[in-house]
């Protein structure tokens, strides 16, 4: 079965999972705050729709594991949250090892970065 493990090095709390994001309790956490195992065996990662679906799942799981969206009034927490989500998503995309998933993620991330400027 194809799975991706979302591991976070940031000191964030592990939140409740969703239907496709469940805490992985089989491995010790050491310095990592949490792990989520995403199963994606039903996705065809050689097709854009399958790749985008997995990216969306990874991004959602990262938001959950990183503690959820903080108050916009807490700039420090908002920055830590965004950094946590970006790092966790990027690591997970790399671990999947799909050239198409990686290419789409990088293209979309670059476009979002340029839009912020």
Q: Which of 70 and 40 is assigned the larger pLDDT?
A: 40
Average pLDDT of the segment spanning 6-21: 35
DSSP string covering 33-62:
S-EEEEE-TTS-TTSHHHHHHHHHHHHHHH
pLDDT digits (tens, 9 = 90+) for 43-102: 999 999 999 999 999 999 999 888 888 887 788 888 899 899 999 999 999 999 999 999
- pTM of the full predicted structure? 0.71
- Residue 21 clears pLDDT 70, i.e. is over it: no
Give the model's confidence band at 27: pLDDT under 50 very low, under 70 low, under 90 confident, else very high.
very low
Q: Is 58 left (phi over 0), alpha (psi -120 to 50) or beta?
A: alpha
């Amino acid at each position: 079965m194809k799975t991706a493990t979302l591991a976070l090095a940031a000191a964030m709390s592990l939140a409740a999972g969703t239907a496709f994001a469940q805490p992985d309790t089989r491995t010790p956490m050491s310095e990592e705050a949490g792990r989520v195992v995403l199963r994606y065996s039903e996705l065809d990662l050689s097709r854009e729709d399958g790749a985008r679906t997995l990216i969306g799942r990874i991004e959602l799981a990262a938001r959950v594991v990183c503690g959820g969206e903080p108050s916009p009034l807490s700039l420090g927490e908002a920055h830590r949250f965004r950094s946590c989500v970006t790092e966790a998503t990027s690591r997970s995309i790399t671990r999947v090892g799909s050239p198409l998933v990686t290419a789409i993620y990088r293209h979309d991330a670059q476009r979002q970065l340029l839009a912020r400027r």
